[in-house]
Amino acid sequence: MKKGYLFLSLAIMFEVFGTTMLKLTEGFTNWIPAVFFMIGMGSAFFFLTMTLRHLPLSLAYAIWAGVGTALTAVVGVVLWKENFNLLSGLGLILIIGGVVFLNFSSGTGTKDAASAAKSVGS
């Protein structure tokens, strides 16, 4: 389980990195950030796939998407001085709250990915 959260943390970091590089590509006219974007997103999906060996899909994807969205919003505010207001904050709180609720409910259906794959294949 701890390994799953390690992979998930790496997936989130690479996703935020890739998304940050996407902004810098300026419509894929800057090739160096475009290459880093592809590396970041490729790595993010690789580590998300590794995560799914240890954590349920609904939980892993919710955390990946929610935390990635929140961190990307922070990067936008800090690096590019994007607007952050009450509604933005409320939206992020709702996303994080949803992730927390999914985490609490993950006790049901925690069959590992290998067992699930075997049961589907038979």
Of the listed ranges 16-20, 31-35, 101-105, the one predicted with least confidence: 101-105
Average pLDDT, rounded, for the chain: 88
Q: How confident is the model at residue 109 (pLDDT cuts 50, 70, 90)?
A: very low
Q: Where are the domains of the chain?
A: 2-121
Closest CA to 45 of 70, 10, 69: 10
What is the per-residue pLDDT across 49-91, written as a single tens digit (0 to 9) for each? Answer: 999 999 999 889 989 999 999 999 999 999 999 999 999 999 8
Other CB atoms within a 10 A radius of the CB of residue 28 amount to: 10
Retrieve residue 68's tokens: 């990635």
As a whole number of Å, the CA-based R_g of the chain is 16
Average pLDDT over residues 92-113: 72
Question: Cα–Cα distances in Å, from 52 out to 45, 65, 77?
Answer: 11, 14, 31
Q: What is the spatial distance between Cα 105 and Cα 102, in angstroms, rounded to a whole number?
A: 5
